[in-house]
Amino acid sequence: MRNGNVSLASVIQGAVVAVALLAPAAARGQDPLHNHLALGAAPMWEARNDYGEGSRMNFAPELLGFYYIPTSHERYHVRVGARLGFSGLAQADMPTAVQLQERDVRPALEIGLLRDGPVIPVIALGVGAVARHVALKTQAPVSSVQGSQGHSEVLPRAYGHVALGVPFGDGRVVLEPFGRYEMIVGDTRSTWRFGLDVSVLLF
Amino acid sequence: MRNVVALGLLMITPACGYESDAPAVVKAQVIVWDGFEQSNETTSFAVKEETLSTLIDFHNLTGPNVRLYRGGELVAREVAGSVALDGRLSAGHAPQLRYTVRGGVIVARDYSSLAMLSAYNALERSFVAVEQVLGFNIPDLGAKRPIDVFFEPRVRIDSDVSATVIQKFNAFFVPRAHQFGLARRSELEQAPLSADQMVLTHEIGHLVFEHFFNANDPPDCIDDNSQLPARDRLALEYAISGLNEGMADFLSFAVTGSTDVLAAQPRVKAQRSLIKGAFDFAAVNQKCENSFYCVGTVFARSLYQAFLAQGGVPSESTSRGPFAVAVIASLSGVLDKLAARTDLPGFELTESQCDGRDELFHSTHDAPILGAFLDTLAGQAPPPLDAALCAAFVANFGNAGFPEQVRTKCATAM
């Protein structure tokens, strides 16, 4: 019985600590008079039509930085973001003897608006580029290559981004599941992206 | 011709948006099959800048023999090897090529575009080669041209009990609609099947078999297999499916000179060589793992050995072509003669409709059908080809696959 009471107390204590940690602090708007900077990363997947019929989920993670600017309204912040994405860590299925491997670096700048609170809805628009290198890789029984061995290209892109952030640790860490509709000029194979922004407040 | 191409390119330019203007004469970097070395059964490919001289409509990758669609879907009740026994391909899209132009040469910007350009080129070359070596063009085979070819379509098996999307790893032929499918690529492929003229010519071989054996009247799938006409039910037999594959392999040899249709695919455990390895029909179940394809290999080897016995020179297409044409011509009417026989085993109902196949190999069922086919085929061949075929069939199929009691022509021709 005693053991049972101790156990119950521990559970309650743990729950209190957890609630405290997860408490919806006013996220990054605790100090609405100052700007804030956060850095982070985002695992992201895009449904890309790499085959005749059907698509695959292409993993394209991003590094990110957010700069929060207070507005005249206490709960609303403008968020200026910078992202640097990568694609090509996993390639579409191709025959082993001849492959066109695509590797991207994808910088972008975005501007968004968020409302601080227990959860943080965000809406943003972004522009950027895809710097892509396409490399022709061959092996036996492909014995020779005439002409291009690959090429590089830079493709403009723009996107709309919606997210719902959940602050942790007094707002120092925010997990932000997002959906994004993106258009890359000259590459319509994928439009929708899904991921999770994880950002840590620096100041 | 050049004007037509130029007009086509003018029409697509606004649609391409970002794409650079394509040149008037379309030269593209493509994957090209580079021949087969018979001495060691090896093959090679190259990435080359080729002029797509037959191209009529670049936007739709259409030439005199082939129109290529991207995607689409095959809905069929049964697929036997590389032949979809019923159904048809539909809902394909325009190729949506992504390319850039460098020095007047179209260079693909992604693998799908490279593969579609390569497939178009390889298919056109294959049809031209079939016409050069065998003398058949597409209308001769009872089909309309251009033939519709679907690049990486979805394949859905729609049986009575369920619909299942399956992943196929090869090229395939749809007889009723006279269409070809290039199944979605995989890492099982070493060289791309869609650019492999040995494989593509094998598929054209199914078109030839369809014309000469089935007289362009493929079997129907009906709810009650027992109600199938004799002709249709024989065409659905497991053994016949194997012979179809074997004939296609042999026609690929006749046109390309390749004695191993899958020489570029070492990861696919197939025993398709007409020379290497040795298993006769009796050993099929023990020494070969590719079900009815093994019967096809025994059949194709028999034809190859008859070709050599007739003094054929494997390296010369002028030697291979006439022999193959004589064998193909002997196929005409074989199905009707089989259907008229009363000594063949009855149809065995299996789980699904449109599937007359049994597990490999039921000696009392498949062997009489095989034997009757072989005997009838040899019986229709002109001398001395008939004797050469009989000798090769008896040597490779033996009594197990070519029972003495069904031999009539081959009982006397040897």
Cβ neighbours of A134 in B, within 8 Å = 109-110
DSSP single-letter state for residue B62: B
Q: Cβ A144–B47 below 8 Å, yes or no?
A: yes
pLDDT in tens, A182-202: 999 999 999 999 999 999 999
Tokens of B167: 């992943």
Alpha carbon of B68: minimum distance to chain A alpha carbons (Å): 11
Quick one: CA dihedral A8, A9, A15, A18, positive or negative? Answer: negative
Share of chain B above pLDDT 70, in %: 82
Count CB neighbours of B395 within 10 A. 15
What is the tens place of the pLDDT at every residue in B100-143? Answer: 999 999 999 999 999 999 999 999 999 999 999 999 999 999 99
pLDDT in tens, B298-350: 999 999 999 999 999 999 999 999 999 999 999 999 999 999 988 888 766 55
A10-26 mean pLDDT: 44
Residue B100: count of CB within 10 angstroms of its CB: 18
Residues 60-99 of A with CB under 8 A from B: 92-99
**How far apart are alpha carbons A179 and A160 in whole angstroms?**
9
* Amino acid in the structure at residue B135: G
- CB-nearest to B110 from A100, A141, A147 is A100
Does residue B12 surpass a pLDDT of 80? no
Q: Could you give the residue ranges of the DSSP H alpha helices within chain A?
A: 2-22
Closest Cα in chain A, distance from residue B185 (Å): 6
CB burial class (10 A; 0-12, 13-18, 19+) of residue B398? middle
Query: Mind telling me how many Å the CA of B352 is from chain A's nearest CA?
Result: 27
Q: From the CA of B169, how many Å to the nearest CA of chain A?
A: 11
Q: State whether A147 and B29 contact (CB < 8 Å).
A: yes
Residue B401's pLDDT band, with cuts at 50, 70 and 90, is confident
Confidence of residue B354 (pLDDT cuts 50, 70, 90): low
Tokens of B78: 């049964």
Say how far apart CA A103 and CA A27 lie, in whole Å. 36
CB-based contact A93 B49, cutoff 8 Å:
no
Q: Does the beta carbon of A185 lie under 8 angstroms from any beta carbon of chain B?
A: yes
Instruction: Tell me what pLDDT residue B16 has.
Output: 40
Which of A141, A148, A188 lies closest to B190 in CB terms?
A: A141
Q: Each residue of A118-140: pLDDT tens digit? A: 999 999 999 999 999 999 999 99
Q: Which of B29, B32, B47 to mutate to test the interface with A (most CBs of A within 10 A)?
A: B47
- CA B17 to chain A, closest CA, distance in angstroms equals 7
Which chain A residues touch B100 with a CB distance below 8 Å?
Answer: 151, 153
Report the range of poorest mean pLDDT among B255-259, B375-379, B401-405. B401-405
Confidence of residue B81 (pLDDT cuts 50, 70, 90): low
Band (A31; pLDDT cuts 50, 70, 90): low
Residues 6+ apart with CB under 8 A from B140: none
